Amino acid sequence: MQGDYIVAAGKKGKIEIPKGAEVYDVTGMTVVPGFIDSHCHFLWMGVSMLRDVQLRDTPTLEAAMVRLKEKTKAAKKGEWILGKGWDESKWPENRYPTKKDLDAISKTNPIMIVRICGHLLTLNTPALKIAGITGKTPQPEGGQIDMGADGEPTGILRDCRHLVEPFIPAMTEETAVEGLKLASEYALSLGCTSIGDAGLGAEELKAYQTALAKGYLKTRAYLFLNETVQKQSYEVGIRTGFGNDMIKIGPTKLLMDGSLGAHTAALFEPYTDEPSSKGLLMMPSEALDEKAKAAHRHGNQLAIHAIGDYAIECVINSIQAALKDKPRKNHRHRIEHCEILTAGQIERIRELGIIPAVQPNFVGEWAGPGSMYEQRLGEQRNRLNNPYRILLDEGVTIAFGSDGMPFHPIYGVWSAVNHGIKDARIKLVEAIKCYTLNGAYVSFEEDIKGSVEVGKLADIAVIDRDLTKTKPEDIRDAKVYMTLVNGKILYHKGL
Ligand SMILES: [Zn+2]
CB 280 within 8 A of CB 142: yes
Query: 336 has which bridge partners?
Result: 305, 357
Q: Does domain 173-485 have CATH number 3.20.20.140?
A: yes
CA of 336 to the centre of ligand 1 (A): 8
CA of 54 to the centre of ligand 1 (A): 18
Question: Could you give the 3-state DSSP secondary structure of residue 355?
Answer: strand
- As a dihedral over the C-alpha atoms of residue 61, residue 139, residue 224, residue 36, rounded to 10 degrees, the angle is 30
CA of 107 to the centre of ligand 1 (A): 32
Strands (E), 394-473: 399-400, 460-463
- The whole-angstrom separation of Cα 261 and Cα 411 is 20
Residue 99 has pLDDT above 90, yes or no: yes
Q: pLDDT class for 170, splitting at 50, 70, 90?
A: confident
CA of 39 to the centre of ligand 1 (A): 6
**β-strands 192-200, 120-123: how paired?**
unpaired
The pTM assigned to this predicted structure is 0.90
Q: pLDDT class for 171, splitting at 50, 70, 90?
A: confident
CA of 400 to the centre of ligand 1 (A): 12
CATH number of 57-115+120-158: 3.10.310.70
Query: 2 has which bridge partners?
Result: 5
The per-residue pLDDT for range 285-320, each reduced to its tens digit, is 999 999 999 999 999 999 999 999 999 999 999 999
CA of 32 to the centre of ligand 1 (A): 25
CA of 144 to the centre of ligand 1 (A): 19
Low-confidence winner among 367-376, 383-392, 446-455 (lowest mean pLDDT): 367-376
Give the residue among 104, 117, 464 at the shortest CA–CA distance from 263.
117
Phi, psi of 446 (to 5 degrees): -70, -15
CA of 198 to the centre of ligand 1 (A): 6
Terminal Cα distance for the chain, rounded = 22
pLDDT score, position 464? 95
CA of 41 to the centre of ligand 1 (A): 6
Distance of alpha carbon 400 from the chain centroid? 9
* Domain coordinates in residue numbering, the chain: 57-115+120-158, 173-485
CA of 347 to the centre of ligand 1 (A): 25
pLDDT score, position 132? 96
CA of 405 to the centre of ligand 1 (A): 10
Phi, psi of 99 (to 5 degrees): -60, -30
- The whole-angstrom separation of Cα 188 and Cα 180 is 12
- The whole-angstrom separation of Cα 341 and Cα 280 is 17
pLDDT score, position 158? 95
Give the residue among 84, 122, 121, 124 at the shortest CA–CA distance from 108.
124
CA of 38 to the centre of ligand 1 (A): 10
CA of 197 to the centre of ligand 1 (A): 8
- The whole-angstrom separation of Cα 179 and Cα 184 is 8
pLDDT score, position 245? 96
The per-residue pLDDT for range 100-153, each reduced to its tens digit, is 999 999 999 999 999 988 889 999 999 999 999 999 999 998 899 999 999 999
The per-residue pLDDT for range 25-51, each reduced to its tens digit, is 899 999 999 999 999 999 999 999 999
CB within 8 Å of 234: residues ≥ 6 apart: 294, 295, 298
Give the residue among 490, 494, 473 at the shortest CA–CA distance from 34.
490
Give the residue among 227, 91, 104 at the shortest CA–CA distance from 155.
104
CA of 465 to the centre of ligand 1 (A): 31
Q: Which residues surround ligand 1, an ion (CB under 5 A)?
A: 198, 403
CA of 7 to the centre of ligand 1 (A): 36
Counting residues of the chain whose pLDDT is more than 90, the rounded percentage is 87
